């Protein structure tokens, strides 16, 4: 893996009280650590995490970003960089990101650029972060209304996921996380895709053992892809299934919709486009709708236009020479990328999620 040294595979623990032992086992100790969370996670879990980190670091400092996607900005990262500098952090010190995707991206980005890169630990607390955003070293912020437009690859020294944290999520946040789970299964694990509806009741009831299995299997898909393509030169682009239109919907809604919900809508649009290309049959397309509905994911959106969403896709990071590298579904468990998707195809997929009767 040709990028900064780090760990791909997450360690899944039963409780936060195992965090110190996991850090010791990974050789992660030192002088100073900055525990960075947001104004939700720090009051809820900060003291427990700090107590564990205090067993392996001599000094534990704590910093809270304002919660919310609207605060995923360069100015927020700048505030953490200033705090690191004020506390005297050097190249041998560590940032620990405690939270969901927004916190992990911002704290990871701060660690990537502070002194040209210091060690970061990811402690993801949301479903989206535990199976996707906390893994693989992507960091960054939104810029001028464009999702994750400024960032860096910075592989964490450790990813430590605790399913117990998912019990603190609202139903909306947990549901949105399932958008990323379904995406992961569709692009890389057909058996997981079949497993999900069978265990839907246990998943929605947040059965700890079932959550552990779901996180393990979902994370394994991402780890496998990242290991082969750490800096998204090719195959890693497949992880963006559902994201081109999903991000465009997020922007059109001014980030009022949760990321995972928008990814779910993007999956339905991609499924429709794949069907219209003859890649999947109607039964497969309908089944994808059924699985999304089973987990409460939205299947249409109102208040925005197809043209507005299409325009937003043009600012997607995955543009290559003016064309979108779009991810389509060849079969449940196998995604492929296409560089020849037309605006007419995009509009067909977009209109599909604007039609409540679809």
Catalytic residues: 116, 138, 180, 222, 232, 236, 240, 243, 247, 259
* 15: Cβ contacts below 8 Å, ≥ 6 apart: 162, 164
Compute the distance between CA of residue 267 and CA of residue 247 in angstroms, rounded to an integer: 12
DSSP three-state, residue 144: coil
What's the sign of the alpha-carbon dihedral 196, 200, 206, 208?
A: negative
H-helix or E-strand containing 150? strand 146-153
Unique residue bearing structure tokens 């605060």: 71
Contact 53, 98 (CB under 8 A): no
Write the CA distances from 216 to 161, 192, 223, integer angstroms: 10, 11, 10
The token pair that represents 282 in the structure block: 């109607």
> Which is it for strands 326-331 and 334-338: parallel, antiparallel or unpaired?
antiparallel
Asked if residue 311 lies in contact with residue 239, where contact means CB atoms within 8 angstroms, the answer is no
Is residue 32 within 8 Å of 93, Cβ to Cβ? yes
């Amino acid at each position: 893996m040709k990028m900064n040294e780090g760990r791909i595979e997450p360690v899944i623990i039963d409780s936060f009280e195992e965090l110190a032992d996991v850090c010791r086992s990974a050789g992660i100790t030192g002088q100073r650590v900055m525990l960075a969370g947001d104004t939700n996670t720090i009051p809820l879990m900060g003291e427990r995490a700090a107590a564990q980190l205090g067993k392996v670091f001599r000094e534990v400092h704590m910093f809270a970003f304002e919660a919310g996607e609207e605060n995923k900005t360069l100015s927020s990262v700048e505030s953490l960089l200033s705090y690191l500098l004020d506390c005297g952090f050097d190249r041998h010190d560590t940032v620990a990101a405690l939270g969901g995707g927004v916190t992990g991206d911002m704290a990871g980005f701060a660690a990537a650029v502070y002194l040209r890169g210091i060690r970061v630990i990811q402690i993801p607390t949301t479903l989206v972060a535990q199976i996707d955003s906390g893994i693989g070293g992507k960091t960054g912020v939104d810029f001028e209304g464009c999702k994750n437009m400024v960032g860096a690859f910075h592989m964490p020294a450790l990813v430590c996921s605790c399913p117990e944290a998912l019990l603190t999520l609202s139903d909306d946040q947990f549901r949105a996380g399932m958008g990323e789970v379904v995406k992961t299964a569709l692009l890389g694990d057909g058996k997981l895709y079949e497993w999900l509806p069978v265990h839907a009741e246990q998943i929605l009831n947040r059965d700890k053992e079932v959550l552990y299995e779901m996180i393990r299997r979902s994370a394994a898909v991402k780890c496998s892809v990242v290991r082969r393509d750490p800096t998204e030169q090719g195959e890693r682009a497949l992880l963006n299934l559902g994201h081109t239109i999903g991000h465009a919907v997020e922007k059109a809604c001014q980030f009022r919709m949760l990321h995972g919900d928008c990814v779910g809508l993007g999956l339905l649009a991609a499924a429709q486009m794949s069907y219209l290309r003859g890649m999947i049959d109607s039964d497969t397309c309908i089944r994808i709708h059924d699985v999304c509905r089973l987990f409460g994911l939205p299947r249409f959106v109102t208040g925005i236009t197809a043209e507005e969403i299409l325009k937003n896709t043009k600012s997607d990071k995955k543009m290559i020479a003016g064309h979108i590298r779009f991810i389509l579904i060849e079969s449940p468990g196998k995604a492929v990328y296409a560089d020849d998707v037309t605006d007419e195809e995009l509009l067909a997929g977009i209109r599909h999620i604007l039609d409540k009767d679809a």
